[in-house]
A = this chain, B = another copy of it.
Amino acid sequence: MHYKQLSQQIFKKSSYLCVGLDSALDKIPSHLLKEKDPIFEFNKQIIDATIDFAVAYKPNIAFYEALGPSGWETLQKTIDYLPKDVFTIADAKRGDIGNTSQMYAKAFFESLNFDSVTVAPYMGSDSVKPFLTFEEKWVILLALTSNEGAQDFQFEELQNGKPLYEKVIEQSQNWGSHENMMYVIGATRNEQFAHIRQLIPKHFLLVPGVGAQGGSLKEISEIGLNKDGGLLVNSSRGIIYASSEKDFAKAAAQEARVLQEEMKVYLDQL
């Protein structure tokens, strides 16, 4: 998907919501376990219920990999089920030497036809660039994550006084553009968010951590939105596990709608 198409979808749906499909057998409503492929059935109903309120879907690859070969089939069915006008993210956090990253890129962009994949920066340029050679496909690079462990290395101050995550953002400007790269910036990083937005005014930011992890949609939106949208705010458990009963899809729709309606307010203010 092109930058422009994604931007158009955001204004068409008045939403920059990404629904995270962290779907696990021990978390989905028990009545689905009698289905042939319970996870796919769950994803299908979640997608149907939330499609009017979301512009992006993000299967968390670990949850499918943990199921072995059948999990990979479930993932394939899920991506095939998603309409072509939503932006799809393989949340895989891959990254390896060049010929290996090339194989991961093929797996997610060709076999599975995702629009984007999350990539870890530690191994540097040749671990990221192979993902950037595919037309209309995106790298979403980890920069400043929402988890506690981000403190261990991402905030480390370098000799020039800047933190590591800023070096990651700056260095990676040489690898791609705002038309094929996004960055993961946690919603719990308000203090850093404004400066990051100044550094990369045009790039889309994928923002996890709203809700359960304590990030504020209002603050992130006020700082992070740009004239093209420029944000994808993810919610996973808050939406898909809003209810563990037979009404789970309706409850998911309700949670997604609440977020979308709040997003509409911020988009209308642009």
Contact = CB atoms under 8 A, between A and B. Distances in A.
Given A62-B96, A100-B22, A157 B154 contact: no
A147 B124 CA distance: 9
A153 B167 contact: yes
Contacts of A156: 158-159, 164, 167
A159 B163 CA distance: 10
A124 B153 contact: yes
Contacts of A151: 124
Q: Bin the interface of chain A by size.
A: 35 or more
A136 interface: no
A116 B3 CA distance: 39
A269 interface: no
Given A63-B103, A76-B68, A149 B120 contact: no
B150 A123 contact: yes
A125 B148 contact: yes
A127 B106 CA distance: 25
A147 B62 contact: no
Given A69-B72, A100-B60, A145-B97, A122 B154 contact: yes
Interface string A201-245: 000000000000000000000000000000000000000000000
A107 interface: yes
B106 A66 contact: yes
Contacts of A65: 103-104, 107
Interface string A100-113: 11011011000110
Interface of A: 22, 24, 60, 62-63, 65-73, 76, 91, 93-101, 103-104, 106-107, 111-112, 120-128, 142, 145-154, 156-159, 164, 167-168, 171
Given A60-B96, A71-B72, A123-B154, 10 more contacts: A62-B94, A68-B107, A68-B111, A93-B94, A93-B95, A93-B123, A120-B120, A122-B154, A123-B145, A157-B158
